[in-house]
With several copies, the nearest count.
Chain A
Amino acid sequence: MEVFVHSMDKAVVVAPVGDVDLSVARELQGHLKRAIEGKPARLIVNLGKVPYMDSSGVATLVEAMQITRKQATKLVLCDLQDKVRSIFEIARLDRVFTIVSSQEEAVTIQ
C-alpha cells in the first residue's frame, strides 16, 4: 500500500493505493490521524485504488469517524470498488458512513 495525501482549500483527500489489510492498517491509521489533526472542514478518503479491504481497514475508518465527529470535520468515503463496498455492506456500515461514488461528489455533498 502507498498513501497519497492531497490538501485542498477546505478538504484533505487521503487516497491509499493497494490492499488495506492488517499488514498496513496502522500505516493508514497514521495518515488519517495526521490529516485529522489539521482540522480540515472535510476529510475525503478516496478508495478508488483499493481493490481489497478487511476489517482492520474498516476499523481504522470507524476510528477516524469517531474522532472527526468530535470536531467540525466531515468524513466522506468515495469511489469504493465492489469488493470493498461488499465488506461495508456485510458489516452494515454502508449506512453509517457517508459514501459517494466520485471525489467531485465527496467535495460538494452536504
Chain B
Amino acid sequence: MTPTKPQSPTMERLDRDFPLDAVPHTPPHVVVELFSQPRYLSGARDLVSAVAKRFGFDDAVCGQLALAVDEALCNIIRHGYDRRPDGRIWLSLWPVSEDEGQPHGIRIVIDDLAAQIEPDHIKGRDLDDIRPGGLGVFIIKQVMDKVRYEKRPGGGMRLLMSKLLPAQADEQGGKR
C-alpha cells in the first residue's frame, strides 16, 4: 500500500554510509499513510516529534523536524493535490544507522501520487522579498541536513530528507 514498500521483512542495520538522501533498502520503521487533509497535520507532526525525541534529538530540534514535515505536507496538500481531500500521502521514518539502539540521525521520506513537477521548480523565495507565503521550502532546507525532491517512477513526487544528531553531524561535516 505504501510506495516505500519494504523489500525484506527482516530488520537489517541501516548502513551508515548509505546516502542520506536516498531510500534505504530496509523497511521504514514507521510509516504514516494519510489523506491530504489539513486536519491530519497535527497528528503527523506530533508523531515525528515524538519519534525524533526517542532517537535522541533535543526538544528544539524535534519541534523543527515536525515543522519541516508539516511544511512538506502542506505543500503536497496545497500544490500537489490542489486541496483535494482524498489524495494519499506516505510519511516514512528510519533511524540512521544505530549503535546499540542509539541512532545517528533520522531519515524522512514523503511520497505522494499528485501531479509531477520538475524538482528544480520547487524552490523557496528570496527572503528579502517579504510577502505572505513562499517560506515552506526555505524552512525545510534550513531545518534538514539533506533535502532532495524527485519524480517517483510510478507517478507522484518524493521528498527525501535527513538530519543527523549533533555529534554525528560534527563527525560527518553536517549542519548542527
Contact = CB atoms under 8 A, between A and B. Distances in A.
Contact of A23 (B38, B136, B138, B143): B38
A54 B138 CA distance: 12
Interface residues of B, number: 27
B102 interface: no
Given A22-B41, A23-B39, A86 B63 contact: yes
Interface string A72-96: 0000000000110011001111001
B142 interface: yes
Contacts of A87: 67, 139
Interface of B is mostly: helix
A96 to B, nearest CB: 6
Interface of A is mostly: helix
A55 B139 contact: yes
A56 B74 CA distance: 8
Nearest to A63: B132
Given A21-B70, A23-B39, A56-B74, A96 B139 contact: no
7 contacts: A21-B70, A22-B38, A54-B74, A55-B135, A58-B135, A60-B132, A82-B63
Interface of B: 38-39, 41-42, 45, 54, 60, 63-64, 66-67, 70-71, 74, 77-78, 127, 130-133, 135-136, 138-139, 142-143
